[in-house]
Structure 1
């Protein structure tokens, strides 16, 4: 059976600040992210299977990505856990805001690596993560490809 790639697109809003950066992005700000998730596999050949002809049900892929990425990052503010913004992060969290402290610089590049690890572990055995594209603005995005890793 041929390998087929399918893609589902997700949107979420996330704030962040880049610790140590020499430009405007050192300040707390946010983006309307778009995450393009592409998986690869063979369509199910069993004519008696309820998902016959599908690589993966889009709703199954949606559940994985929502639980691992969208529901976690949407309307959260992400900081490197070593940031001097730690006090701000604690204050926001204490006031009921969603704050994520991560062990990386929360750039699109590093976030897409994090997302790839989270999504890969949840996919069925016969499905592979092919690529991710995390679009930060209309003209800027980071991509992760399994073939490169």
Structure 2
């Protein structure tokens, strides 16, 4: 069985080597869809009876490990020294330093890596992260599916 929970967050970034507008500092209203696979729990008296996972728990884990970390932050590539150094000079600025350029594809890969470990076997029902879909805009997104994650 597959279940999906969608969350949204706002963040800034730039693509330093891009040849067009994306090389400038800008932001997006991102959306992330987390799809989990697992067995439906069939245990009388269990609060999760009839569920793969309680959707509120899907949300809580995603918020703790990704969404709250990235929301209203600037997502900066560690190799983009001009931006990293500039942001470091701003007292209290919420900056997340990434090991990859913050494209939709890379953000989806990073989120998958983080959340895969967080969800794995949470409910003891062979729970697995199946897919992360990260929307950069309503019309542009990247998918990472469990058999294609790196």
TM value normalised by structure 1: 0.92
Single out whichever of 59-68 and 17-26 deviates more from structure 2: 17-26
Q: Matches of 1:40 and 1:71 in 2, distance apart?
A: 23
Say whether the 8 Å CA contact 1:12–1:73 is kept in structure 2: yes
Q: How many angstroms does 1:63 deviate by?
A: 1.0
Say whether the 8 Å CA contact 1:7–1:37 is kept in structure 2: yes
Say whether the 8 Å CA contact 1:11–1:33 is kept in structure 2: yes
Deviation above 4 Å: which 4+ runs of structure 1?
none
Q: Matches of 1:121 and 1:147 in 2, distance apart?
A: 15
Q: How many angstroms does 1:55 deviate by?
A: 0.3
Name which of 62, 65, 70 aligns with 2:62.
65
Q: Which runs of 5+ in 2 are unaligned?
A: none
Say whether the 8 Å CA contact 2:35–2:130 is kept in structure 1: yes
**Residue 52 of structure 1 pairs with residue 62 of structure 2:** no
| Partner secondary structure for residue 44 of structure 1 | coil
**Residue 75 of structure 1 pairs with residue 75 of structure 2:** no
Q: Matches of 1:123 and 1:87 in 2, distance apart?
A: 34
Q: Which runs of 5+ in 1 are unaligned?
A: none
CA RMSD of aligned residues (A): 1.1
Q: 1:42 aligns to what? A: 39
Q: 1:143 aligns to what? A: 143
| Partner secondary structure for residue 118 of structure 2 | coil
Size of the alignment, in residue pairs? 144
Q: Deviations over 1:74-113 (max 9, x none)?
A: 0000111111322212123xx2220111111000100000
Q: 1:99 aligns to what? A: 95
TM value normalised by structure 2: 0.91
Single out whichever of 26-35 and 77-86 deviates more from structure 2: 77-86
| Partner secondary structure for residue 86 of structure 2 | helix
